């Protein structure tokens, strides 16, 4: 159930011309968008985007049709997944994700200034966006899954949008820090997302993310966790070399370290 009062407040924040208008862009042509009532509009390619309960649907027409017809096995699954690892106190996953949250926060907070604009790509139910919000950092939180986005209703300093990680609805070089934790293992073409994250990062800005590695504990994840969905259509655990190559192919070097008791790689890219 969507809290309509909170959703209305979100919409009012969104309609005000402020920091969000300096970030959001057309997912197709990347030009700035105009906001007008319950739509957003791209003056450059003339595409109209709906704003539904305060959250804009910033998906290209090309992607939207097959996505909503459930024709894309991987993306259509994540459109509908119901998995809130920030709240389920029973699962082992809950402990793991909160530990991961603090390790990630300690790595990324040194790159933040009070005026930083942050982008959380594949934010889910707001594990990392939540801690940014509590510390008053202006954050654009993107996810394909609207249910996950609505779990964050009411968080201050957060602008949410339904979006695809491979086609970010964000203007070129508009963001100081891009975050993507536990996202690219769900993407069939992570190189496209790496290029998009580089495109939207300001010169001098940073990209930080994490991904499960080849630790043997991942093989028993489904037995150990009661909250992990067992029917994910695509999940790829990366080697250190694969993460280094991913960023090298995108045109930059990544600093890679192990976090979460050696179960995940954390990368830091300086643009
Ligand atoms: Zn456009």
81-99 residue pLDDT tens: 887 766 666 666 777 778 8
Per domain, the residue ranges of the chain are 72-270
Q: How far is the CA of 63 from the centre of ligand 1 (A)?
A: 14
**Residue 73: C-alpha distances to residues 39, 79, 186, 206, 228 (Å):** 29, 10, 12, 32, 19
22-41 residue pLDDT tens: 899 999 999 999 988 789 99
Q: How far is the CA of 39 from the centre of ligand 1 (A)?
A: 14
- What residues sit around ligand 1, an ion, with C-beta below 5 angstroms? 26, 28-29, 42, 44-45
- 3-class secondary structure, 232: coil
Question: What is the rounded average pLDDT of the residues 155-170?
Answer: 96
Q: What percent of the chain has pLDDT over 90?
A: 64
Q: How far is the CA of 115 from the centre of ligand 1 (A)?
A: 27
Q: Which CATH architecture group holds 72-270?
A: 3-Layer(aba) Sandwich (3.40)
**Crossing angle (nearest 10°) for helices 73-80 and 61-68:** 80
Q: What angle do CA 104, 204, 111 make, to 5 degrees?
A: 30
- CA separation for the pair 263, 97 (Å, rounded): 12
pTM of the model: 0.88
């Amino acid at each position: 159930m969507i809290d309509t009062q909170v959703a209305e407040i979100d919409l009012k924040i969104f309609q005000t011309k402020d920091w969000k208008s300096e970030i959001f862009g057309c997912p197709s042509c990347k030009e700035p968008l105009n906001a007008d009532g319950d739509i957003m509009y791209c003056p450059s390619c003339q595409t109209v985007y709906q704003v539904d309960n305060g959250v804009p649907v910033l998906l290209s027409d090309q992607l939207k049709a097959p996505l909503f017809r459930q024709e894309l096995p991987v993306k259509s699954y994540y459109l509908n997944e119901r998995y809130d690892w920030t709240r389920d106190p029973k699962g082992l996953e809950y402990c793991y994700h909160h530990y991961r949250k603090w390790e990630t926060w300690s790595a990324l907070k040194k790159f933040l200034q009070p005026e930083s604009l942050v982008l959380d790509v594949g934010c889910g139910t707001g594990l990392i966006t939540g801690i940014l919000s509590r510390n008053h950092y202006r954050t654009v939180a993107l996810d394909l899954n609207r249910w996950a986005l609505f779990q964050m209703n009411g968080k201050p300093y957060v602008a949410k949008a339904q979006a695809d990680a491979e086609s970010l609805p964000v203007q070129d070089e508009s963001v100081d820090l891009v975050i993507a934790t536990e996202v690219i293992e769900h993407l069939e073409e992570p190189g496209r997302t790496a290029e998009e994250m580089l495109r939207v990062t300001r010169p001098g800005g940073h990209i930080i993310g994490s991904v499960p590695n080849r630790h043997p504990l991942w093989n028993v994840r489904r037995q150990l966790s009661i909250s992990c969905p067992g029917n994910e259509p695509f999940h790829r655990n990366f080697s250190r070399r694969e993460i280094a190559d991913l960023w090298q192919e995108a045109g930059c070097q990544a600093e890679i370290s192990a976090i979460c008791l050696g179960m995940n790689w954390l990368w830091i890219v300086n643009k």
